[in-house]
Structures are given as C-alpha cells and as structure tokens.
Structure 1
Amino acid sequence: MSDQDQNQREHEGLDVWILGSSIGSLASAVFLIRGAKMPAPRIHLFESRGAPEDGLPTTGDALSGYDHRSSCLPIVRDKYTKYLLSLVPSIACSEQTVLDNLNTSKGDVAATRLLFQGDNHLEAIDPNNFGIGWRVWMSLMNFVLKSEKSLDRKVIRDCFKAKFFSSAFWITWSSTLVSHRNIFKIIANKGEHKRFGFCPWSSAIEFRRCVQRFFHKSRSHNKSSPPDRFICDPQEDIVLPITRLLQKEGVDIHFDVTVTDIVMDQEQGCRRISAFKWIKDETETIVTVGKHSIVIATLGSSVSGSTSGTNTKPPSLELLKAEDRLDENWSLWLAFGSTLGDPYNFCTRINESRVETFTITFQSTECLDHLIKSVKAEAGSRTLIILQKSNWSINLLIPSQPLFSHQSRDMSVIWGYCSTPNHIGNYVKKAMLSCSGQEISVELAEHLKIPREFMLNNSINIPHVMPRLAAPLLTRSSGDRPKVIPKKITNLAVVGQFVEIPDETCAIVNYSICGAHAAVNRLVGLQEL
C-alpha cells in the first residue's frame, strides 16, 4: 500500500470544517494537506472574502488618494512560519516557495531609521545599537521574573517607573514594533508622564511575553536591538499564494459567506459541534458535522468595524454597539457564548483599542524628496518619525518606495498612525477623530516645521479609524482567551490572535501560524517541529 493510500484510509470519513477568515485558517488548511496528508476535497473552508484577491490592505488610487491599512509582518526565523512558507509555491515561479522568495527579497535591507522630536529639531536613534543603562536593565529583568498570574489585568505603566518610558530602549523597541503592528501604543514622552496617560489598554502580560521572546538578541547587558524582520506584504506575498495553493489542490472553499450559528450536542460529559449555519446572498444553509469530523474556527478580528474618511471629511464616528459592525470572526466567537473565554473583553472596549491611521499620497516623487530633505531623513531608506510632543501621538513612516506593488510609480505614499486620536490637537484644536485628511496634514506640517501650504497643495490625506486594532493587546485575565483545544469540546480547535498559546506573543503574525500548527497536530496528528 502506498503512503497516499494509507493516509487516505486513515482519514476515511473525516471532514475538516474551517470557519472564519484569517491566516490561521489558511495555515490550518495547508498543514492538513501537506503535513497531515489529508485529501484536499475533505477540507472545507468558509471565507468572508469575495475572491482570493480581496482583502488587500491598500485601496484607492492616485487620483482620489490611497488608503493603506497597517498589517502584521512575519518574523520568519520562527520555525512554524518557515515551515508553512516552505510548503507554499510562489505565484511567480512554481519551482520556488514563498519562503525562497521572501529570503531573496530580504537581501541587505537596512534597519528602519528612527527620528524623534527634540526641542528644536528631529534627533536620530540607531535602532541596532543603543545603550541600556543598569537601571533599565534591572527593571526589565525584575519584570520578566514576575509570574503571568501576578500581571492579570495590569497595564505596562503599573510595572515600571516613569523614567523607563523615556529610555532609548523603550523609545526604540516600542516605536519599531508599533510601526508594523501597533504592539504597544505607549510612546515614550520625554518625562511628560501624565500627558498621554500611557494608554491604559496595553497589557503587561503581552509586553512581558514580547520581552521574553526577543530580548535574547542582546549581546550584553548594555546593548540591544529590536526584532529582525523584512519587508513584505502579508496579503500579497503570503495569503494570496496560500489561497491559490488551496484552490489548485482542490480544497472546498466557500467565498463570500458568513457563519452565523453553532449547534453543540452533549455527549458523555463533553460537548461536540454537530452542525453550523452559514449565510450567502441572504440564503441560510445548515451543515451537519459528522461524528468523526472536526471544526477549526478563527475567533475575533482586529480590523473589524474599520471606517475611512477623505481629504475633506473625517471617518464616520457613529457609536458602535458590541453586536454592530462585527465581522464573521467576532460573530463566530459570540455564537459560542461563554464556552470560550470572554469575547466582550476585547470587542467592546473601543475607546481603549481604537487607533487612527492616515495615508498621504504625494502627487509627484519630487514632493516626497522635498519632505525628506526638510526633515533631514535619508533618501531611499525607511524612516519612522516619532512626534512624542504631539497630543495625538503621531508617528509617521516614510517607507522606501513603492509602499505597495500596485502603487503608481509617478506618486509617493507615506503612512502614519496615532494612538490617542480622541485628544485635542496641538495646532488643530479638535480631536483627530473629527478631523479631515487636510486638517491632519496641517497638524503634521506644524510638528515637522514645514509649510502647511506644501502639504495641502501637493498631497491627499486619507484618515482611517480602526476601532479594534489594539484589541489583542488589551488587559486580560487568564480565562479571557480560550486554549487552542478548548476543554470539554471534543471536535473543536480555535486559532487566531485571541486564543491562548503559553509563552507566545500575539503581537506578530507567527502567533496565528503557531496556533494553526498546534490545532492540526492535536486534532489529526502532525509531526512536531
């Protein structure tokens, strides 16, 4: 008997139902096919995307202005991410894998250059070589030695003295990580401790895990550097190739659908999922889950409820109830009730998890060159400007161009985010949430000490509010997030940023991939890496 025949016999009668849209769901399907050798037609994937290309993080065009959504970048030294990407063929060249492509594109990418707001001008920090004083070092060591239980519901500000947040270590680490995933929104503010309130939703537990994960890169007690990473677009470079692979292999993919309800039966003191309901084009369908079949579900979403404004209008500020504007991943979690942790701890605290971003499209490449020269940045490099004196906590990323693949080569695009958009601006006397793109450009120009006419006459600014972007980093207790394999449910695994994986940090995309590997391994058997 061949290995393929043996695997088919082992999986006879087994169907896997993968519910919800995320890289965790897609990774689960890849691990099932390539790792567990399951027949692709027995894998059923339910996605809210209308097509494989949907979900690109950048919309708009050169005429009306681009709208770029920040996304989580992978750190590919993680073994689960490397394994996943080594299984997926490149779209451009089938003889290469996605991992091959990304390793090639990594090249000698320079570290992001950091500029922070001094008294009279922008000052530079070398992110790869900055000193850590003994006090900061000891504060970090004492913090890491604390138990997670002792940090339940605590925020980062509870664990450090005010001077820690003005250290080069904190400025560099928080800003470099934030520029890609808004990990910890507390930007060091040069001793102005009460000005920003240190963003009370930042979880001390999550920061401890992040320090544990990456602080080993320090070569000595007084040297450190932020996590390595390279430039890629998760949607174009990872999600789309995976989707194409699953389609080619014959996975039963249902696009443009929403799972609305879960049915569970009681069996010998445990429960099992026996059916679920899904809707497409206002038609509801009930799927029966076989006795030997399993379900993998993605819980929660950090991009749910996002809204965009225009250069002349602010984003919508309508008040959202917990049930409103929630995507299918939240609906799925809520459908389980109190069985799987507490979704309301993460989806309802909008005032704490809300982040506003903005995308500035310059009408010519010369305009960006002028801006770079004005702020004394380096042409062709990636520069993150930290405006810690801004009431909105403005952080501006000037990337190497193009920022995304379909960007017009005649235009230049820069991107920024603000972690306290509900505050009144320093120059524009209103909350950022109520500002148009033009008003945000005025505030930015004043902080950068460049003529506001230059920004207004040469650029289009699109603001974008993401009410739950920082939801994975909210304070939590030990029972708020379910484990990958929930207790007393025999045929279910859950994946995504809102599940509990001990000692791993949800601040990077690897978290969802690690959870997907654990889910497949424990449900159907998979060789441990």
Structure 2
Amino acid sequence: MGSYQLKYHAKKPEGIENKKEYLVGSGIATLAAAFFLIRDGHMDGKNITIFERKNVNGGALDGAGNLEDGYIIRGGREMEEHYECTWDLFGDIPTLENPERTVLDDMKEINDWDPNVSANRVIQNRGERVDASTLGLKDHHIKQLTKLFLAKEEDLGDLTVEQFFTPDYLETNMWLLWRSMFAFQPWHSVVEMKRYMERFIHLLPGMTELRNILFSRYNQYDSFVLPLVKWLEEHGVKIQNNTLVTDLDIEINGKEKVVTGIHLVIDGKEEYIKTTKDDLVFVINGSMTENSTLGSNDKAPELNTELGPVWRLWKNIAEKDPAFGRPEVFYKNIDKTKWESFTVTFKDSKIADIIRKLTNRDPYSGRVVTGGIITIKDSNWGMSFTLSRQPHFANQPDDVLVLWAYGLFADNEGDYIKKKMSECTGEELLRELLYHMGVDGDLMEEIVNDAIVIPAMMPHITSQFMPRVKGDRPEVVPEGSVNLAFLGQFVEIEGDCVFTVEYSVRSAMIAVYKLLNLDKQVPEIYPSKYDIRHVVNATKTLYGNKPLPGEFFVKKLLKDTSLDGLL
C-alpha cells in the first residue's frame, strides 16, 4: 500500500488556486513543503513565498567555501535506505549535472558503487586501533536496553540517559559508538534514545562498522539543497532572503486557530502581510544551528548565548496558546546543548599519508575514506573526525582534501593543547587532532602550515535531544489550526526521531497533506521494530554475536524481552 500511495497523484484540492503559502525559514523542511505543495497539492509555485533572514538557503544542510578561504561544513548527515519521505522527495528532483537523472538516482548509484563501511572506527594512544567489533555489553546492560525498548514513552517522562542506565553502561563500547555517532550526552532524553533504538533497530548489526549508512556524493548543500532550490525556482517559488519574520497574529476562537497576519523586517524596515483562512503559513520553530559562530586559524569562535531570532519567533507564537509548545525547554540550557566542530582544508598535504596509515585507504581514490567518523576514545574533548568521499565539494580541486572533526566536550582541557576546546584557535584544534593521530615534530608543523582551519561553535546543536514531555513540542498541525503548521526538528511526530533529514521532510509532508486534506497518505515509518528478523539480529548483536544453541537462544531472547509467558 505504501508504494501504491507514493505513486498516486492526489486530486487537486478545491480552491487551491485561491490560496497563498508563506513559509518561514529556508531549511530542508520548508523547501520540502514547497515541493509537496506543488507536486501533491497542485499549487501554483507563484503563490508560494519562502522568507529567509540570511542570504543563503538550506538551514542546517550547509557547505560552503573555496580553496583560498577554506571550506566549511558545520556538520554532516548519516542517512539510510528507509528515509521514505526524503527519497520520495528526491526521486523527483533532477541533479544539477544531468537533468535526466534524479538526486535519488545519484544517491543509489554512488552508494551501490561505493558502499560505506568503517575502515577504523575507534583509536586511542595516538593512533592505535581499538577493537570495537562488539558492543561490550553485560547481561544487566542488555536487560536495561530491553526494558527501554518495551517501556511506554509516557512512563519515561523527562528521564535522562544517565538516570535510566547504571553508570557502567556509559563505559561500554555501545555508548562510545552511540555517543559519537549521534552526539548523545548522558543528560539527554532517554525517550529519544528509545526512539532511535526502535527506528533503526535494523541497522544495529552494522553499528560497529557503520554499515548500511548512506552518504551523498558531495556535502549536503551541493547534493540536496542546490538541486531542490533550482527546481522550486523553476516552478515559480519565490525565496525572499534578508527577510526576518518576528511574529504572527493568530486569532483564537474556542479551539479554532487562524493566522491573520505576518510581521516582517525586510532590509531593516518593518512590514506586514495580512492573511486569511485560505492562506497557509508554515513555520520552522526552533533551530539547531541558531547563533552559530565561526573562527579561523588564529581565532577561536565566540559563544553566542543571546536569544536568537528563530527561537524568539517561536517564543512569541508559543505565548499565544499552549498548543504551540514550550521553546524554553530546548533553548535555555546551552551548556548541555552546545558542541564545536571544525573543518580543515589541506592542499597537497602529507595528511594523506596519515589517513592511509589509519585506514589503509587512498584519500584520492574517489571512494569513501574513513567510512564515517573515527572516534578518539581517550580524547578529553570527546573528539571524532572524518574524511568523507573526496571531493566533498563540487568546486574542490583534485589535490585538495577536506576533513571534518568535532568535540562533544568543548569546556574540557585538551590532552596536548592545555586549553578548553572552546578557547582554541583553528590551528590549536588541528594540533590537538594531529597529536591524537600520532603526528608530532616537523611533520606536525608542515601539515599545520599547509592547512586552513575554520572552527564552528554551535550553542543549540543538540537542543532537540533535551528531556521533554508531551506538549513541549507542538504537533505539526496543532489542534484546531486552520492554516498554521510547524515544521522541522522541534515538532512532535509519533515514532520518528530527530536530528535526521527525514524528520524535517516528514513534517513537511504531514503539514501539506493535512492542511490541504489530500486523499493521499504519508508513507509509514519503516516498521523494523515489529519484524522478528530484525529483533533477533539486533539481540544477537547485543550479546556479541556469540554462537548460541537455537532453543537456548530463543528462550533467552523471550525471557530477556519479558515474553517468557510464550514459552
């Protein structure tokens, strides 16, 4: 039924030609919403306007720079086969290079030709490979994970990871891999961890090697944002940059909620747009990358703790009705939501020899190099790094390598550079990384002198993981809303997990289909948690893939999952 629904072209909604659509923010959620409005909602693109306060589009899906100034990527995206809404979207977006092929065609082709597998997942002692082939769990850890899998979200409430698990779980390989792969912290929501477990249980057997993870040909801006923006503009969509939305006028009569006006600042001048029930207003509420700041080789990035305009807009809207959520739950604990990344541009550098030694792979081969992140187990900054498939930028010369790294503990002192990560210049960050790679002396100096390092401090980068309860995040379409929808990482979508492109795209599809009342269903979230094959394979992985007699294994599985009544 799912594929049938995806191929079905919804009927044209009555009165669609009289509607206008206003979208706030140009992240992947609003770009996707504009696409679904045109393809599935039969809306004329000329009636769609996207307001973006910056002069660049794409939100958190970024990537920019050049050889002279250095490249910058604040973060990357690990994707997988069952991003049903995302692949439905990009199955209709042509690539920039070849209009006869779609972005989905390109994704499949590049990942079939060059499937991802980690070449060296964890190192310590200055470049020494760590055996992370098993999750390193004991029986009581497995029982805790099983208990989490079976628990109801409402019973877990706002519990954190460290409140749910015993302290020794945080010393396991599983937590090291989990933390570095998803940027989870002990003080983050255990409900969100539960959602990740259930959503991606089919990927657990490949977790130690990052198998079945998909990466785009280039960075996410070049591979996803630019082709999508081009398609939208060709269909008449107007993206109005340097435009800040500060508030919405919302008329609330009983349970009915109608946006009646939009307050904007365009090039410093206050403007106002009057809207009606027939118009639609979609807002990205909250932002992971809000207030991000950049540094340089000789300058550390500043930590911006002001309440940014994206959060301020959500706060203004939320004050009008409880159904619009509680943004302060997510933006008020910067010390628990920040971390720092840095991008390094190397030209004809000996860093290639270091990477070959760590991975046994050639960085100039055009194939995946590190196969995802390499985590430095004994880094006081909690540092990981990756050299993705090169070139990582469409305009990147053949002899240039671009590396990305991040640290989860920006306030800790380094092991080599005796300063807090947050206080370090780009050059100092690179020296710390090279130290952990086993590089020193003249070779370190040569590599550092060749590199351009751009650090990025992100105060809210894991704010979506903060402990929450029902009502903290608004529904995509709040109860009684006639023409308002929320999009992005801070909305409530049952069964799906944040910090993914899929979550944003799914929110867009839900908003369009629901407010236009389309006779088409949003594709279901891949139900791997209900597939006994995935559950059995995941359980075997938890037990370290030890050979167990069939009858004993089944009984142990049923007992540990509280299903022993079936015996």
Decide whether aligned partners of structure 1 residues 378 and 213 sit closer, same or farther in structure 2, where only a CA change above 3 A counts. Answer: same
> Amino acid of the residue matched to residue 375 of structure 2?
I
Structure 1 partner of 2:476: 484
Note the aligned Cα RMSD (angstroms). Answer: 2.8
Q: Which stretch shifts more, 271-280 or 230-239?
A: 230-239
Return the alpha-carbon distance in structure 2 between the equivalents of residues 65 and 9 of structure 1.
Answer: 51
Aligned-pair CA distance for 1:223 = 9.2
List per-residue Cα deviations over 1:256-287 (Å, max 9, x = no partner): 21111211123355331100111211122211
Partner of 1:434: 423
- 1:315 deviates by 1.2
| 1:330-383 Cα deviation digits (max 9, x unpaired) | 233122033311112212321111111112222314x12221245465334225
The separation in 1 between residues aligned to 2:74 and 2:87, in whole angstroms, is 25
Aligned to 2:35: 30
For 1:227 and 1:274, the matched residues in 2 are separated by 49
CA distance in 2, matches of 1:430, 1:140: 37
Shift, 1:430, TM fit: 1.5
- Aligned: 1:286 with 2:302: no
Shift in Å at residue 49 of structure 1?
A: 4.3
Do residues 387 (structure 1) and 376 (structure 2) align? yes
After superposition, residues 325-404 of structure 1 pair within 5 angstroms as: 326-327=308-309, 329-338=310-319, 339=321, 340-365=324-349, 367-375=350-358, 377-380=360-363, 381-383=369-371, 384-404=373-393
Q: Distance in 2 between matches of 1:130 and 1:147?
A: 25
Distance in 1 between the 2:58 and 2:494 partners? 33
Q: Is the 8 A contact 1:298 1:496 kept in 2?
A: yes
1:264 — aligned with what? 250
Shift in Å, 1:422: 0.5
Q: Is the 8 A contact 1:438 1:461 kept in 2?
A: yes
Corresponding residue to 1:244 among 230, 236, 243: 230
Alignment: residue pair count: 499
Is it true that 1:524 corresponds to 2:516 in the alignment?
Answer: yes
TM-score by length of 2: 0.81
Contact 1:56 1:236 in 2 (8 A): no
CA distance in 1 between counterparts of 2:208 and 2:425 reads 39
More displaced, 49-58 or 62-71? 49-58
Indicate conservation of the 8 Å contact 2:52/2:243, yes or no.
yes
**Counterpart code for 2:85:** Y
Out of 111, 114, 128, the position equivalent to 2:117 is 111
Partner amino acid for 2:412? H
Task: Tell me how far apart the structure 1 counterparts of residues 325 and 400 of structure 2 sit (CA, whole Å).
Answer: 46
Can you give the 5+ residue segments of structure 1 that lack an aligned partner in the other structure? Answer: 187-197
| 1:75-474 correspondence to structure 2 within 5 Å | 75-107=80-112, 108-118=114-124, 122-125=128-131, 134-175=139-180, 177-178=181-182, 182=183, 184=184, 186=185, 198=186, 200=187, 202-217=188-203, 228-232=212-216, 233-317=219-303, 320-322=305-307, 326-327=308-309, 329-338=310-319, 339=321, 340-365=324-349, 367-375=350-358, 377-380=360-363, 381-383=369-371, 384-458=373-447, 459-474=451-466
Alignment partners' CA distance in 1, 2:288 and 2:59? 17
| Residues 153-192 of structure 1: CA deviation (Å, up to 9, x unaligned) | 22212222233333333333443x33xxx3x2x4xxxxxx
CA contact (8 A) 2:412 2:420 kept: yes
- How many Å separate the matches in 1 of 2:436 and 2:410? 16
One-letter code of the match for 2:270?
A: E
Take 1:91 and 1:310, find their aligned partners in 2: how far apart are those partners? 31
The 3-state SS of whatever aligns with 1:358 is strand
Is the Cα contact below 8 Å between 2:120 and 2:358 reproduced in 1? no
In the alignment, the residues of structure 2 paired with residue 104 and residue 376 of structure 1 have an alpha-carbon distance, to the nearest angstrom, of 24
Tell me, in whole angstroms, the C-alpha distance in 2 between the residues paired with 1:217 and 1:447: 29
- AA in 1 matched with 2:409: T
8 Å CA contact 1:218, 1:225 repeated in 2: no
Percent identity between matched residues is: 27
Letter in 1 for 2:493: I
